[in-house]
A and B are shown apart, each in its own frame.
Chain A
Amino acid sequence: MNRELKRVSIVALVMFVTLLVSSTLIQFVQADALAADPRNSRTLYESYSVERGPILVDGDPIAYSTATDDFYRFQRTYANGPLYAPITGYIPVNGEATGLERSLNDYLSGQSSSQFFDQLNRLISGQDPVGASVEVAIDKVAQQAAWDALGDYTGAVVVTEPETGRILAMVTKPTFDPNSMTVHDGEQVQATYEGLLADPGDPLFNRATGGDMNPPGSVFKLVVTAAALESGRYTPDSTFPNPGEFTLPGSTSVVRNSGGGTCGGGATVTLADALRLSCNIPFAELGIELGDNAIRDQAEKFGFDHEFLIPTGTEPSTYPQGLDDAQTALSAFGQGSVRATPLQMALVSAAIANDGIVMNPNLVDQITAPDFTPLEEFEASEFGRAISESTADTMVQMMVNGVENGAASNARIDGVSVAGKTGTAENGEDDPYTLWFTGFAPADDPQYAITVLVEDGGGLGQEGYGNLIAAPIAKQVLEAVLNK
């Protein structure tokens, strides 16, 4: 009997060793992965039970935590919530956080690895943990001016600093108040969230970096012009046939210039005039000659098909794959399946303004520990060179002409040289247009790159166009920041 007993004891021992191993696997080996699971509400609660660090604009908090007596211990409040909603995002008591609250959660909640010794110190000394504060790059004046200028339109405004990629303003409308998402009542938060989701205006979209992706229309001609000049086979004076109608190859569809007729008269038209007057037919012809691969390569050098982390995630703008000549012709004036965000178009303008170099866009200047030691300082970083310096110089001049005596005339500012390009993109046959402006100022020493997006034709259906609605918004914002 004792031999069997010995074996049974070994079986029992093996059972217990198995349990020791399995619990070690969960509590030690897989612990971090389990904590990172988005369904793990404990992680969220943990991040609530510390005094979250503030998010600051020019030293003033736009998001901050105050102590409460309830289960969650701290209330998150957003000063001027709707204005800064696309930047801060929110952190609800249930569900997932968004914006910087999500992407910088580790720092804000004091859990980042660079705060490890601080955590240890506080654990030993019995102090409650405190999160780090985040200073954003946003310029108060630019943000407020963009908010005011966009008015009640559905759309977005992005302002960046060409030399550094710092995002100085990011406004999207319609928007919402993130304070409504941080009340300490899960059911109320859920109801608010579902209400916002069901809202036909889609206030949860950040139209500056994503949302319903829009065709860029004529602002994409900047990318095609860049591709042409970079190929070495074209100059601003290269000419194209100038018919009043252009039938797409292999189809019966006809392309017209906006407003109909030829491009400024004459049998041929130069590339410079085609861009200045924003004509479609010359660009359709140029697109076919360049081919879709050349255009895509150029687009990707500007940042298309790349998800920029600012550090919040953004929606990549896209240039489609495998196009035939007809589709390539459409894509050359930003129609077809081309989709772009205002942030992406701001990168295109900023690169032209910055001697051809694309800087990584970035919302955050500095992250500081509660004891004021800097944890992270963001330095300007290059995404890459999109175009040569000479191409950039040429394009600055072409864009200045577009504002001074071309299709972007409503962006003119007295005493300041503005470079710009408008866009009026078609969506469906009867759908309202999407209106664009992208540019920078001053053209001789670019300080601000701006992109304006207005959806739904600015309320005018197919009557609205970029120069009518988007260009004046850009002008108003640029005036505000230049007069600071």
Chain B
Amino acid sequence: MTDESARSRSASNGAVTTAGDGGTPARPATPPSGIRRIRMPQKLRNLEFWLLIVACVINAAAIVLVQLGALGRVDTQLVLLGAGLSVLVFGLHISMRFVARDADPFLLPIATVLNGLGIAMIYRIDIAEGDAGWDSAAVRQIAWSAIAIICAIATIFVIRNHRVLFRYTYLAGLVAIILLILPLVPGLGQSRGGAQVWIGFGDIATFQPGEIAKIALAVFFAGYLVRNRDSLSMVGRKFLGMRFPRGRDLGPLLIVWALSMSVIVFQRDLGTALLYFGLFLVMLYVATSRLSWVVLGLSLFLAGAIIASQTLDYVGNRFANWLTPFSDERFNADPGGSYQLVQGLFGLANGGLIGTGWGQGRPDLTPVPQSDYIIASLGEELGLAGIFAILALYLLFVARGFRIGFAGQDDFGKLLGVGLAFVVALQVFIVVGGVTRVIPLTGLTTPFLAAGGSSLVANWIIVALLLRLSDTVRNHPRLVIDG
């Protein structure tokens, strides 16, 4: 090695250190006693940097393996498009070095690798179905991913302190309601697969506003509950060994319940209703620490779901398919039969423990293999091992979110962090649980993986908000241990 190259290497090392430091004042080498040791911020970002490299390598490898498995050759065009996304992800990473230095280092790499695996699988199904160019769902997914990541960067820059959101609690509630009503507006709303949850003009630029609404709802619930938790915590009569809330405080629960039920009835979307209601119940429980709210809420929802399964055909079909998917009657019923569910199970079974390998299975035999059923497609080609890895990634993602709840200083931030993390966990449970027959199948997107622009935008904004929250947590060393 010549002297010159050694010099340039050390110079570049120096540059990285400077960027990582971001001009913060030096911290003491050993933390004062009584204060948790805080990792140096550039270390967090550097860890994130290397994890992102790993994530991007996995994603590129997935796309190349899909091409080798399904095409038998490497096509550089899509690899380049994917590389473009990596640049954007690193853009988010560099933004954080400036405006969220102490943010959690795991969230971004996990979201990146899940997003990338989703694109690889969608691309794989494009190949099976012969779609290319702008017909290709993978190309559209990459475009939406770019938009979503840009939205996340914007969120990180615009919302410098999450407490700003607390001020807009009721605005967030109003936005959520408007977003939910939009698909029902004549001329704007569109129905697909029976569910009235899309908006758009013609075939272009369709959007599922309910995905964004879940963020607005989390903000609203967090703000509202922090403001009103005292009255909601008041206990009334004791019944069946449990103290139940006062009758006059039942209003909010009943309103959210009614909202969920109207989603079931008018938008014909069981999964979304369950998602919103579950989110509310968990946040209500964390805010008030009253288990009776959960009991009450779950009973209400179950009652509603049972009535719906008796009166609404589509709900009844979902339940019947769940209970007896293999009966010929259910399998051959069209519409509303169990064909998709059973095909998904066949696909998963075909994958077995280690999967068929990228491009080697037949996930395209299952209807909508790239959106609602992407987890079955991944299960077929990556096997049980792949499913475990993906679920572990989600679990880690959710755990990082809960960590904010545990470590946060302000109740609003804690509640919001828990709410956003739980909504991802619940959504994964509803989708994967539906595919694997834990619960009746309902149409929801698998976060980050499934084809769909609105879902990507919403989940990347959740990433940005969680990053922002985690940055705040670490930025303020905790002196008081528990509240």
Contacts and interface: CB of A to CB of B under 8 A. Distances in A.
The list of the 4 closest CB pairs from A to B, nearest first, reads A34-B349, A22-B436, A27-B384, A31-B349
B88 interface: no
Interface stretch (B7-15, B17-25, B106-114, B422-430): B422-430
Contact of A37 (B326, B426, B437): B326
A1 interface: yes
A5 B418 CA distance: 8
A31 B387 CA distance: 15
Interface stretch (A39-47, A128-136, A366-374, A473-481): A39-47
Interface stretch (B28-36, B48-56, B391-399): B391-399
Interface string A28-58: 1011101101011111011000000000000
A30 B353 CA distance: 12
A42 B362 contact: yes
A31 B383 CA distance: 11
Contacts of B345: 26, 34
A28 B418 CA distance: 34
Contacts of B350: 35, 42-43, 46
B446 to A, nearest CB: 12
Interface of B: 282, 285-287, 289, 326, 331, 342, 345-353, 361-362, 365, 379, 383-384, 387-388, 391, 394-395, 398-399, 402, 405-406, 411, 414, 418, 421-422, 425-426, 428-429, 432-433, 436-438, 482-483
Given A2-B406, A37-B346, 12 more contacts: A16-B394, A23-B388, A23-B391, A26-B436, A26-B437, A27-B349, A27-B379, A27-B383, A31-B348, A34-B346, A35-B350, A42-B362
Interface stretch (A7-15, A206-214, A236-244, A458-466): A7-15
A1 B402 contact: no
B352 A5 contact: no
A20 B391 contact: yes
A2 B483 CA distance: 8
A1 B285 CA distance: 9
A31 B345 CA distance: 9
Given A27-B349, A27-B353, A30-B349, A5 B365 contact: no
B271 to A, nearest CB: 14
Contacts of A18: 429, 433, 438
22 contacts: A1-B286, A2-B482, A8-B402, A8-B422, A16-B391, A16-B394, A18-B433, A18-B438, A19-B428, A23-B387, A23-B391, A23-B432, A26-B348, A26-B437, A27-B348, A27-B379, A28-B384, A34-B345, A34-B349, A35-B350, A42-B350, A42-B361
A46 B362 CA distance: 9
Contacts of A31: 348-349, 352
A18 B434 CA distance: 12
Contact of B365 (A4, A30, A42): A42
Nearest to B344: A26
A347 to B, nearest CB: 35
Contacts of A39: 331, 342, 346
A3 interface: yes
B422 A20 contact: no
B388 A20 contact: yes
Nearest to B351: A27
A5 B416 CA distance: 12
A454 B398 CA distance: 74
A26 to B, nearest CB: 5
Contact of B346 (A2, A5, A15, A40): A40
B189 to A, nearest CB: 31
A24 interface: yes
Nearest to A46: B350
Contacts of A7: 285
A45 to B, nearest CB: 6
A85 B387 CA distance: 44
A12 B425 contact: yes
B24 to A, nearest CB: 29
User: Chain A contact residues (Cβ within 8 angstroms of B): what range?
Assistant: 35 or more
Contact of B352 (A11, A28, A41): A28
B362 A1 contact: no
A20 B384 CA distance: 9
A17 to B, nearest CB: 9
B268 to A, nearest CB: 25
B365 A27 contact: no
B301 to A, nearest CB: 15
A31 B352 CA distance: 6
A42 B342 contact: no
Nearest to A35: B349
Contact of B433 (A13, A22, A30, A37): A22
B349, B379, B432: which has the most chain A beta carbons within 10 Å? Answer: B349
Contacts of A11: 282
Contacts of A8: 282, 285-286, 402, 418, 422
A16 B482 contact: no
A67 to B, nearest CB: 15
A35 B482 CA distance: 54
Nearest to B283: A8
A28 B353 contact: yes
Contacts of B422: 8, 12
B211 to A, nearest CB: 20
Contacts of B436: 19, 22-23, 25-26
B286 A23 contact: no
Nearest to A40: B346
B25 to A, nearest CB: 31
Contact of A1 (B282, B384, B414, B438): B414
Contacts of A41: 346, 365
Contact of B402 (A12, A23, A30): A12
A42 B380 CA distance: 11
Nearest to B426: A15
A5 B384 contact: no
A45 B350 CA distance: 11
Contacts of A25: 436
A16 B428 CA distance: 9
Contacts of A16: 391, 394-395, 398, 425, 428-429
B437 A22 contact: yes
Contacts of A27: 348-349, 351-353, 379, 383-384, 387
